[in-house]
Amino acid sequence: MLLAIPYPPGTSFSVTANAAYCSQSAKRSCTEIFQKVDSVQHVRFSQGNTYHFDLATNVLWIRVVQFPQAYTGDTLYSETAQWRLWNYDDINPHTGNPSDHALDQFSFRGITLPKSKFGYVNYLEIKADCTEGPVSGYCANTPAYVDPQVCSPGYVQVSYDKCCVSISSTDCESLTPPPTASPTPPPTYGHTSNLVENPGFESVSLSPWYTNYGRGVTLDTSQSHSGSKSSLCADRTATWNGVEQQLLGRLDAGVEYRYSAWVKLRNAPTSFFKLAFRITKDTGKEYPGVTGTITNTKWTKFEGTLTISTKGTLTGLEIYTEGPPANVEYWVDDVEVFRVSSSSVLFV
């Protein structure tokens, strides 16, 4: 089901799914922070953990899917606890009872309905940050209502999840693919999507980030540029130790990208820092990036642009951090890589 809510222009959002009762562990997550995407279509065909704010109509779009009451992610199809589309046949791996389903349900004469358990209810939380009006907690401006465009041109809505040429027609478009018990497929990326996964380190695990030639990169809640977490690069034995993510397949050659990250020192007053890419081709390696100074008194933003040369065959691409001397620790948060435009400029 798609949920559409109008908001005043300029509103920003934080959307979170919350388990009703949950004990977080390596095999179970209790919250899922939704990622911002660039279109309603991206929301419609997502796993139900994305949102889109249409700047033309000022409507917030969210796909509402059913998720377990006791957790928001598990390790049934992945090494770390991950959100996914749950099938009614999925077994709850945490109870040890093969008769317990991930989605609590009641069935009678072929009809299956979801149900709450012990009176607890899981829920979605939408936090909207807008200009506050004279009434505390309310936006200053009332959004102009625009009737959401649910169906494609030429189709009309005949049920909450179905659009056809007419009510009696069999010529219909499929808006919602059926749930699958297979692992959650990797997301697709539009031209305005952040190409970095888990950019604010708010997930239950560090993944898909990993340590760059070192040990000790962890999630940390003592400092954050935004949200409640960041990554702490500690136990560093060399200048190149940091945090890294693989981006191969997400960036195209000949296209300009804007990238950035926020960084802060932990146990030194100032230090050199570099936010960089490792580009591996059959012709060799390149290490473009931006450099500067970071301190332990404030978060510093590093940003630059990148255009990968069309020369050679690309076989590896990572974004990573490095710079401070061994034993110097630092936090990294809010990493972004966005497509700017097609470009004829070649980075050599």
| Winning range, highest mean pLDDT, from 22-36, 105-119, 148-162 | 22-36
pLDDT tens readout for residues 188-243: 555 567 899 889 998 878 888 988 865 689 999 999 999 889 999 998 988 989 99
Q: Beta 172-174 vs 162-164: how paired, if at all?
A: antiparallel
The answer to whether 139 and 130 have CB atoms below 8 angstroms apart is yes
Read off the pLDDT band of 320 (50, 70, 90).
very high
* 93-108: b (≥16 Cβ within 10 Å) or e: ebeeeeeebbbbeeee
SS3 assignment, position 212:
strand
The mean per-residue pLDDT over the stretch 143-168 comes to 80
Q: Which of 67, 64, 34, 73 is nearest to 51 (CA)?
A: 34
Rounded to whole angstroms, how far apart are CA atoms 19 and 191? 32
| Whole-number pLDDT of residue 230 | 95
Rounded to whole angstroms, how far apart are CA atoms 22 and 205? 16
| Whole-number pLDDT of residue 52 | 92
* DSSP secondary structure code for residue 254 in this structure: T
Higher pLDDT: 319 or 197? It is 319
Q: What is the pTM of this model?
A: 0.50
Domains of the chain from N-terminus onward:
2-174 (no CATH), 210-342 (2.60.120.260)
Residue type, 132: E
Residue type, 229: K
